[in-house]
Amino acid sequence: MKEFVISTIVAFVTAVGVISSATAQEGNVEAGKKIFRKCAACHSVGENAKNRVGPVLNGVVGRPAGSFAGYKYGTGVQAANAKGLIWSREELFKWLASPRNYLRDYLDDRKAKAKMAFRLKDEQQRRDVIAYLETLDGPPVSDEKAADITHGNTPFNPTMGSVGSGADPLDGLERVRQELVLPPFAPKHNQVAKGGPKVVEVELVVEEKKWVLDGDGTEIVALTFNGSIPAPLIVVHEGDYVEVTLINPATNLMEHNIDLHAATGALGGAAITTVSPGEQTTLRFKATKAGAFLYHCAPEGSMTPYHVTHGMTGSILVLPRDGLKDDKGQSLTYDRMYYVGENEFYVPRDENGDFKKYEAAGEDLDDWIQSMKTLIPTHVVFNGRVGALTGKGAMKAKVGENVLFLHMQGNRDTRPHIIGGHGDYVWETGSFSSPPLKDQETWFIRGGSTGAALYKFRQPGVYAYLNHNLIEAVELGAAGHVVVEGEWNDDLMKQVYIGPIK
Ligand code: HEC
Ligand SMILES: [Cu+2]
């Protein structure tokens, strides 16, 4: 009890800055402010701070643990609060090194859990960030209007788009729910639209989960839409309304949102869809442009490339209402479609050069940001892991079939090629209002886009479909197979002779 009172007083005095000389010895406020950028992925501070993945940290030094109004703390922090824990400088120093281990010790409970999956190992960095936290004033006055803008300085007024006032202008339109399927497959759809524009409902549930990247068992805690990498393909027609419901289950640890390149305004939806664990959001946008597009999570700052390089990228195909066309405006149809998502990963290594493993989403944040800034990926793969599209997972087709390949890369340029085949028609940028290129050998997919290529298979056999940076294909994983059945055509190719030199 005595200790409790003293630490409260010390913390209080420190918080108001009376013994600031001691603060200077311990940690550097300016350095701490920079380090806080890492914390800002989950915590906000300052005047309009609101609870996000983690609670508001204004005035946290000297505050009872688990006490910020309106934040849903985990059971561990709640128990610590009941036990009288006050966030003194010393306690924070231990907490930041490993929140989970800290709670296990403090509560003397081996099963105690912390919702904060982030660790700051470096002692000086911990002192610095605590020094910075000490400069922050107490809790902000709650300002609900200001608190709603979660993403940059978008001019979006949250009341403008709110549904519920008056009649819904889309009441007359047919509503359909699209059941999304696992890549490399496409959901059921018509190539030529039937009837007028519809409202197409899709549901994306964010799953943070362990994910193995290769045959060596290299593992990350992936961030996914619906549990797959890439995220599922959505297919609609130009003029349709797309209603995306994004669910972030309470068991997750991070905030997520969605930026759809097919949408117009509010950062593609990212500005108005950020959801914390335990929340969901529904966004409706009109698909005004025909093409193949990327969608991805885009929380803020470093968190955007962090989430994108943890698997949160997918594609939406917006078909022209009357289907695909060649360069002369003649209809083109496909017999099958495959959706190839290319993702690159930057798995951090330990002192021995071995890949590190982490237990929970966000735990690798610091290491991963360092590693992704090298721009040297450790893995470049199709469908989330090395070999996902070979062997049992190989794509299949028959001689004479037209196959539409969508190729998505959320972050980095790539160059698909079919070894032994071509791109008969290629919409390199994904735009269907521009005429397709014809008879391409290799096509270019800009990082941040989805392109489309149509090819009629004319010979049976196993084709490699790969990123024609062959180092990335062979050494890092960016390769798949297409197994094609049918009759061999000697006119197109014949082995005339092979054997000893004649
Ligand atoms: C990946 C998200 C994430 C990051 C990054 C993160 N935190 Fe947290 N933090 C949380 C969550 C979630 C909680 C709530 C813990 C619980 O309830 O178990 C929390 C709780 C806290 C608390 C306890 C607050 C209270 O009211 O009891 C402090 C202090 C804290 N974090 C400081 C920091 C600092 C400082 C950093 C940066 C060095 C940081 N956090 C980085 C998610 C994060
Ligand atoms: Cu995300």
Q: Spell out the domain ranges in the chain.
A: 2-143, 175-321
Categorize the per-residue pLDDT at 21 as very low, low, confident or very high, splitting at 50, 70 and 90.
very low
C-alpha of residue 397 to centroid of ligand 2, in Å: 34
Q: Backbone dihedral region of 495: left (phi > 0), alpha (psi from -120 to 50 degrees) or beta?
A: beta
Q: Does the pLDDT of residue 29 top 90, yes or no?
A: yes
Residue 298: φ, ψ to 5°: -150, 70
Is it true that domain 2-143 has CATH number 3.30.565.10?
A: no
* 145 three-state secondary structure: helix
CA dist 33 and 50 (Å) reads 18
Categorize the per-residue pLDDT at 366 as very low, low, confident or very high, splitting at 50, 70 and 90.
confident
Range in 110-114, 130-134, 477-481 with the lowest mean pLDDT: 110-114
Query: Under CATH, which architecture does the 175-321 domain have?
Result: Sandwich (2.60)
Q: Please give the pLDDT value at position 425.
A: 98
What is the mean predicted confidence (pLDDT) over 357-381?
94
Q: Please give the pLDDT value at position 166.
A: 58
pLDDT tens digits along 213-231 = 999 999 999 999 999 999 9
Those residues with Cβ within 8 angstroms of residue 207's Cβ, 6 or more apart along the chain or in another chain: 224, 225, 226, 227, 249, 252
What is the mean predicted confidence (pLDDT) over 130-143?
77
Q: Please give the pLDDT value at position 168.
A: 73
Q: Please give the pLDDT value at position 117.
A: 80
Question: Ligand 1: does its nearest atom lie under 6 Å from the Cβ of 230?
Answer: no
Assess contact for 119 and 93: CB atoms under 8 A.
no
Q: Could you say which ligand is closest to the alpha carbon of residue 125? A: 1
Question: Ligand 1: does its nearest atom lie under 6 Å from the Cβ of 61?
Answer: no
Q: Please give the pLDDT value at position 37.
A: 84
Categorize the per-residue pLDDT at 373 as very low, low, confident or very high, splitting at 50, 70 and 90.
very high
C-alpha of residue 99 to centroid of ligand 1, in Å: 8
Q: Does the pLDDT of residue 271 top 90, yes or no?
A: yes
**Spatial CA neighbour of 116 closest among 370, 368, 360, 369:** 360
Question: Ligand 1: does its nearest atom lie under 6 Å from the Cβ of 116?
Answer: yes
